[in-house]
């Protein structure tokens, strides 16, 4: 089955993409951002096999947002997903039952799908181009409240709102990094998932932060 991609944003068309690699693809109704953490329960045969293989090889797989279709495989259903996703590395793996894994993944770099196909067990795989991580761009003074407010939210709510694995030391180390702060707000805000995808596709960390600021106002 052929992959049906989506139109690229202007931000994407300006990017020079890096090396091409092959990745198993996990379409979800959620976005994963670089340095973000996502917990998943794995129970479908196609993903049990894929996750076990990725874990054994200490590799990565790609998380991509579904535009149409379901996370679980159904005969006759066609999935359509966006072009840009995030590489996921497994940081916690637990076998709850022979056919049920509990995992946590951490987002690494973003990628753009060049071509994708559906293979055995209806598992998607893709040839993707990687993009460089955000360069460290310091948050301008006019937007410094976005950093301090994010830290206040963590101080008040901790892992009730942030996933386990996000620590106060992360805020101390990255609180002036525009891309990192924008990504954490994008995960946290109760906005439409398509808006989150738009933020993920924004390659300029300062522009991404400005978009977050507009949402919060």
Please tell me the predicted confidence (pLDDT) of residue 216: 93
Is pLDDT above 70 for 25? Answer: yes
Count CB atoms within 10 A of the CB of residue 195: 14
On whether both 114 and 49 belong to a single domain, the answer is yes
The candidate with the shortest Cα–Cα distance to 24, out of 4, 157, 177, 55, is 55
> What is the CATH number for 172?
1.10.4060.10
Share of the chain above pLDDT 70, in %: 87
- At which of 130, 150, 183 does a domain end? 130
Residues 85 and 184 in one domain: no
33 and 106 inside one domain = yes
Domain boundary among 110, 130, 150: 130
The structural domain count of the chain equals 2
113: CATH:
2.30.130.40
Asked if 200 and 187 count as a contact pair (C-beta separation under 8 A), the reply is no
- pLDDT per residue over 115-166, tens digit each? 999 888 889 999 999 998 899 999 999 999 999 999 888 888 876 677 766 7
Looking at the structure, tell me whether residues 116 and 79 fall in a common domain.
yes
Backbone angles phi, psi at 124, to 5 degrees: -80, 140
pLDDT of residue 120: 83
Q: Residue 15 burial by CB count (10 A; 0-12/13-18/19+): exposed, middle or buried?
A: middle
Give the domain extent around 64.
10-130
Which one of 98, 130, 162 terminates a domain? 130
Residue-wise pLDDT for 26-73, tens only, equals 999 999 999 999 999 999 988 999 999 999 999 999 999 999 887 777
Residues 118 and 176 in one domain: no
Look over the chain and give the mean of its residue pLDDT values, rounded to a whole number. 88
- 66 domain-assigned: yes
């Amino acid at each position: 089955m052929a992959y049906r991609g989506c139109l690229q944003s202007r931000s994407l068309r300006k990017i020079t993409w890096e090396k091409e690699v092959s990745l198993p693809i996990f379409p979800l109704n959620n976005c994963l951002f670089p340095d973000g953490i996502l917990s998943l329960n794995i129970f479908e045969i196609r993903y049990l096999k894929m996750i076990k293989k990725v874990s054994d090889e200490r590799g990565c797989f790609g998380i991509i947002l579904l535009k149409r279709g379901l996370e679980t495989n159904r005969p006759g259903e066609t999935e359509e997903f966006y072009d840009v996703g995030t590489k996921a590395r497994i940081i916690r793996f637990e076998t709850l039952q022979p056919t049920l894994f509990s995992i946590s993944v951490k987002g690494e770099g973003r990628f753009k799908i060049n071509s994708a196909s559906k293979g055995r067990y209806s598992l998607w795989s893709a040839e993707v181009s990687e993009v460089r991580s955000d360069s460290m761009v310091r948050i301008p003074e006019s937007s410094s409240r976005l950093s301090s407010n994010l830290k206040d939210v963590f101080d008040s709510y901790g892992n009730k709102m942030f996933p386990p694995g996000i620590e106060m030391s992360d805020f101390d180390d990255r609180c002036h990094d525009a891309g990192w702060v924008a990504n954490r707000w994008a995960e946290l805000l109760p906005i439409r998932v398509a808006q989150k995808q738009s933020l993920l596709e924004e390659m300029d960390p300062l522009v991404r932060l400005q978009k977050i600021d507009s949402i919060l106002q």
